[in-house]
Every structure is written in structure tokens, then in C-alpha cells.
């Protein structure tokens, strides 16, 4: 088999979604040059058996079984086994568009290729909101370029095509033991060694919102955003545009942490929401809220919400959000 691209799918108890993910790879217009590596991370729901069945049916599908070690270890083991010149990732509950590999390979002279993607729950595109389509050379990796990279829609690992030689030569890997944003770390570390980047302004990847994952993010929203903020701050600490990029990173942190506060209150009880808000306000990151500029907020809800946060009125924040949710429900009923 002439293996050009190795597609790696980490698999863990995803029997409800796995078949669609695998079929989206099999349906690729260039499937004959693809090696699909299914890395079973100790599944117990039948996913492990489904992986074996696919490996028996197709010569270019293989399975790695490992004890439950997390998604980072699973992807790293997939990279070690990869025979392709290029590497791509697919989450077990997502799907490729049939032309994903073909279109990505058209731009494979770039060290990193990135495409836009759809989010199933809202049916909207993401990365194109920041990047302009086309190829970027190393000398174009400027402040505007990196401002695009620090947004969450960029640093997922799965809407990209990587050169295996760059990964192997520079020992780029997913950080084992990291609970959050492990793919962001991989993408940023890989980007250090890129001489070129190309963005394809077409949604070739479908990100399916998995309720189980969504719940995890809501419950751990502050921890996720704190990890991202700390990592990105360290990453750019020696950049000549450090102050400007730090402002962008801080704005993102405040925005997404606020979203996590709202989500925790909306989907949880008042005591749980109060506890969560108190934890955020007691952290050393509270100072970032004090520095944030709220002057552009036009929504009355947002203005009151941030005023209450800045004054550390945790219970008032929770009750204000609950009141807003109740009002929204009444208006839509």
C-alpha cells in the first residue's frame, strides 16, 4: 500500500459515534493512500471490538490496544506507529468531509495546513473568522498572525495536516497527564518549527458536539481557561510583541471564563453556582477582571453582570444569571 497520510483516531467508550467517524475516513476520495490507525484506550463499551472488526475488513486499517492512559498517550502511540508522510487526527465523535484529505494534500507543501470546520450544534464555521485564505511564510508570522492563533477555534489538532518528519525530528508530542487543552500544546509546539502555514477557507471537518464532553468542559471551564492563559503567556514571553499579544490572551481568558461562569450557573444549582463563582473570584486571576475593558458592552445584562463580578458579589452574580435565564425561558415559551 502506498501510504501517504496516516489518520489517527483515539478511541475510548464511543460506540455511539465511532462508526460514523470511521466511515467518514473510508469514504475519502483518496482512501487508497490513507492508513487509518484506531488507538483503543482501554474501551469497555464494545468500541474495542468494533475497532477489531474494521481492521479485519480493511488492509489499511490497524488497531492499537492500550490500557486506559488518556487521549494524549493514545495519539502519541498512533504517531509512533504511523507510516504516512503526513499525519492527520480525527476525534471519534467527529467526521471528515469526503474531500478532506484530497483538499488538504493540495496544500501539503506548507508545513502546517489548516481548514475551517463546522460545529454541528450551531451549523457555523469558525477559523475563517480570523484567518484569510492562503499561504503564510515564516516572515509573515507577525502579531496579526499570532493573534489569530490564540483563539480557541485555531488550536484544535484535528482540522490540520502535519508533516511527520517535523514531528519526529523535533520530538513534538501531546503532553501526557495534561487534563485540558492538550491539543493546543501540540499545535503550538509544532508551530515553532514551521516555515510556512496555509489556511483553506472551506469547512472540511465536522465537529459534533458530544453532550458528555460539553458537560466536562462546563464543569471544568475555569481550569481549562486558566491552563490556556498560563501556557500561552509563557509561550510568548520572549516575543517582541509580547504586550500586544498578552492583551489578546487576557481578553480571551476573561471572555471564556465568563462563559464558563454563566454555563455553570445556568446548568447547575444556586449553591453550586455560588461555590463556583466564589472560587473564580478568590483566584489570583481576579485581577484580570479588574483590568478588562467593559466600555463596549451594550447589553444591559452584561454591564450588570460584570459590575457584580468586579465587586465580588458572588451570590448576586448567581441570582442575576438565574433571573436572566428565567426571563429568556418565559420569552421563548
Q: Pick from 192, 140, 142, 132: which is nearest to 162 by CA? A: 192
Q: How confident is the model at residue 106 (pLDDT cuts 50, 70, 90)?
A: very high
Condensed to tens digits (0 to 9), the pLDDT of residues 11-52 reads 999 999 999 999 999 999 989 999 999 999 999 999 999 999
Q: Is 2 exposed, middle or buried (0-12, 13-18, 19+ CB in 10 A)?
A: exposed
Q: Flag whether pLDDT at 265 surpasses 80.
A: yes
Q: Flag whether pLDDT at 7 surpasses 90.
A: yes
Q: How confident is the model at residue 290 (pLDDT cuts 50, 70, 90)?
A: confident
Condensed to tens digits (0 to 9), the pLDDT of residues 176-199 reads 988 889 999 999 999 999 999 999
Q: How confident is the model at residue 284 (pLDDT cuts 50, 70, 90)?
A: confident
Q: How confident is the model at residue 158 (pLDDT cuts 50, 70, 90)?
A: very high
For the chain, give every domain's residue range: 5-209, 215-332
Q: Is 21 exposed, middle or buried (0-12, 13-18, 19+ CB in 10 A)?
A: buried
Name which residue leads in pLDDT, 137 or 2. Answer: 137
| pLDDT at site 215 | 42
Beta strand pairing call for 134-137 and 196-207 = antiparallel
Hey, how many other C-beta atoms are within 10 angstroms of the C-beta on 80? 11
Instruction: Give CA–CA dist 324/330, Å, rounded.
Output: 10
| pLDDT at site 216 | 44
Q: Pick from 227, 233, 222: which is nearest to 178 by CA? A: 227
Give me the architecture of the 5-209 domain, per CATH.
Alpha-Beta Complex (3.90)
Amino acid at each position: 500500500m502506498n501510504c501517504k497520510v496516516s489518520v489517527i483516531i483515539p478511541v475510548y467508550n464511543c460506540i455511539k459515534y465511532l462508526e460514523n467517524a470511521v466511515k467518514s475516513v473510508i469514504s475519502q476520495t483518496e482512501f487508497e493512500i490513507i492508513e487509518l490507525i484506531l488507538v483503543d484506550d482501554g474501551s469497555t463499551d464494545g468500541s474495542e471490538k468494533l475497532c477489531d472488526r474494521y481492521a479485519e475488513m480493511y488492509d489499511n486499517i490497524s488497531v492499537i490496544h492500550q490500557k486506559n492512559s488518556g487521549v494524549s498517550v493514545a495519539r502519541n502511540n498512533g504517531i509512533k506507529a504511523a507510516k504516512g508522510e503526513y499525519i492527520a487526527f480525527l476525534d471519534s465523535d467527529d467526521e471528515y468531509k469526503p474531500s478532506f484529505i484530497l483538499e488538504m494534500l493540495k496544500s501539503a507543501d506548507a508545513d502546517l495546513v489548516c481548514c475551517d470546520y463546522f460545529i454541528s450544534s450551531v451549523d457555523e464555521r469558525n477559523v475563517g473568522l480570523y484567518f484569510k485564505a492562503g499561504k503564510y511564510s515564516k516572515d509573515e508570522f507577525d502579531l496579526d498572525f499570532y493573534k489569530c492563533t490564540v483563539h480557541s477555534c485555531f488550536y484544535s489538532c484535528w482540522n490540520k495536516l502535519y508533516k511527520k518528519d517535523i514531528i519526529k525530528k523535533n520530538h513534538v508530542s501531546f503532553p501526557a497527564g495534561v487534563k485540558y487543552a492538550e491539543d493546543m500544546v501540540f499545535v503550538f509546539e509544532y508551530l515553532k518549527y514551521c516555515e510556512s502555514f496555509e489556511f483553506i477557507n472551506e469547512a472540511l471537518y465536522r465537529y459534533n458536539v458530544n453532550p458528555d464532553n460539553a458537560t466536562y468542559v462546563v464543569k471544568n471551564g475555569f481550569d481549562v481557561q486558566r491552563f490556556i492563559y498560563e501556557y500561552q503567556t509563557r509561550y510568548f514571553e520572549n516575543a517582541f510583541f509580547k504586550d500586544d499579544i498578552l492583551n489578546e490572551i487576557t481578553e480571551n481568558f476573561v471572555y471564556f471564563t465568563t462563559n464558563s461562569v454563566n454555563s455553570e450557573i445556568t446548568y447547575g444549582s444556586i449553591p453550586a453556582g455560588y461555590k463556583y463563582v466564589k472560587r473564580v473570584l478568590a483566584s489570583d486571576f481576579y485581577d484580570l477582571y479588574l483590568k478588562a475593558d467593559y466600555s463596549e458592552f451594550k447589553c444591559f445584562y452584561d454591564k450588570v453582570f460584570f459590575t457584580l463580578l468586579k465587586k465580588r458579589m458572588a451570590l448576586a452574580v448567581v441570582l442575576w444569571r438565574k433571573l436572566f435565564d428565567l426571563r429568556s425561558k418565559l420569552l421563548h415559551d
